[in-house]
Structure 1
């Protein structure tokens, strides 16, 4: 039985990641599909990737966001929120930001979607001047993320259903800026008052999962135990101490989830070898 592998990687700037060795990782790991988040550059500066076709949406915000999907052969179809505007009204403000792209693979009946979900913040009532890394914003970033949550849950359901009607499994990969369970954050008690692990974040994640909807294939494969982590702050010794979060995910329809054969996080051996503040998350599926 054959296998195919899918990687999700927030590169935190593709130009910087390539200078640090992204292309070497890509050649050595050689995934069949790669979802990239935070390209953070114009389309003309993304470049080519040996052995891969590139579908992308860099968005309209200079130096921010941008998503891409790399495939071994040209996909049967490519959809972005520019070419196929989202139907959910709440997503209109995000449609030109380079946050979502999906492709129908040409060599197997799977639709792969890549998402970079907006960062949030604390609600206004929890913000305290001097007690936060960022300046208080009256809850603006928190509200933005909540709007995205509501709209994307509906859009995700439509896209998953559309894939099923077309006889395809559906896989969502990307940086969702949410850690779902206490096993996804090293210091989970403190994280309960942080963006990404607020009750609202985790409730939303709960709502998009389900035995008939989407399965968190990494958690299913890894089991009910800490990890695997995918993000570590650049600051301090977080990377060396393995103090981080799992905010990068792969969520599959049940039929595809049942075909998972392996999960790996390609964490570099040392801080000096890091390609990004995230590490690639790679899932292998049986064909």
Structure 2
């Protein structure tokens, strides 16, 4: 049995103040994928990753982005878009090392290569490649931007264009890396914050959010295009086919969390055989009554031979 989790911690230092370290110790995970670590190596809290081995891609933007994959055994291989990663272990400090394998970026990913958005590892103790992604949040296209309805100043659709460009490029990369894993006899699992609610069951107030970034038709169509019975399967939706949610993100504002008025934007997308082995999927809404982040960990048990 492999227990695998993904969690957008929205800042590893803030998450630790809320109890992330205790959750990490007590949850019994074998693999944990983290997004929005938001800390360079020098300012990570002591024991940030518990007794796990870690591969970390901080990116070069201080206080932003950052992805990591935590494993019980040192990974057999680490791949990043920048060409290097920080690796460490329970008794080994983080050190920067070249990525294990050369990664040929798909056209269009170059501008994102040093932003700390993607990390990929091959597990040493199971035939699985783990990919961790923090997809850009994006924004609205210019024709939908209404200043009176926006918290930020209109940008003419710049963030929307950036996100759509990323998705188009990442789609090409995803196909390539999934096939590379298969060629090595490995299952493939993409986890992370995709900043897209796929269907009406994936956000509570879908009717009034049909022109909101994260639930735009073109974003949802892109996610649909990544999924099929032959490529990648949405594991949580497979185990909860008729459930509203389970949601994984709630605004800090108002009563969204108390009312479970959330979005499901954190995913496990697995190759079909791995997806079929999943026996349980849960969202840890809080830890001992405290929210670790505006996101909650999504934990799946895989009964993989």
TM-score normalised by the chain length of structure 2: 0.91
Q: How far does residue 152 in structure 1 lie from its aligned partner after superposition?
A: 0.2
CA distance in 2, matches of 1:186, 1:110: 33
For structure 2, list consecutive stretches of 5 or more residues without a partner in the other structure. 84-101
Rounded to whole Å, the distance in 1 between the matches of 2:80 and 2:65 is: 14
| Counterpart position of 1:63 | 63
2:189 pairs with 1:171: yes
Unaligned runs of 5+ in 1: none
Match of 1:4 in 2: 2
Say if 2:295 is the partner of 1:278: yes
8 Å CA contact 2:140, 2:159 repeated in 1: yes
The question of 1:199 aligning with 2:217 is answered: yes
Mapping 1:87-98, distance limit 5 Å: 87-98=105-116
Partner of 2:285: 267
1:125-274 equivalent positions in 2, closer than 5 A = 125-268=143-286, 273-274=290-291
* SS of match in other structure, 1:101: strand
More helix by share: 1
Contact kept in structure 2, 1:85 and 1:95, CA below 8 Å: no
1:73 — aligned with what? 73
d(CA) in 2 for partners of 1:8 and 1:87?
Answer: 24
Give, in whole Å, the separation in 1 of the partners of 2:63 and 2:196: 23
Query: Post-superposition shift, 1:269?
Result: 6.7
How far off its partner does 1:224 sit? 2.3
1:87 deviates by 2.1
Q: Helix, strand or coil: the match of 2:109?
A: helix
Seen in structure 2, the aligned counterparts of structure 1 residues 269 and 100 have a Cα distance that, compared at 3 Å, is closer
Report if the CA contact (8 A) 1:56-1:67 is conserved.
yes
Report what 2:25 is aligned to.
Answer: 27
CA RMSD of aligned residues (A): 1.2
Structure-2 residue corresponding to 1:108: 126
| Structure 1 contact 20–273 (Cα < 8 Å) conserved | yes
- Partner of 1:261: helix, strand, or coil? strand
**Any idea what SS the aligned residue of 2:149 has?**
coil
Distance (Å, rounded) in 1 between the aligned partners of 2:252 and 2:136? 20
What secondary structure does 1:151 align onto?
helix
Q: TM-score, normalised by structure 1?
A: 0.97
Deviation at 1:50, TM superposition (A): 2.7
* CA–CA distance in structure 2, aligned partners of residues 50 and 228 of structure 1: 27
* Count of residues in correspondence between the two structures: 284
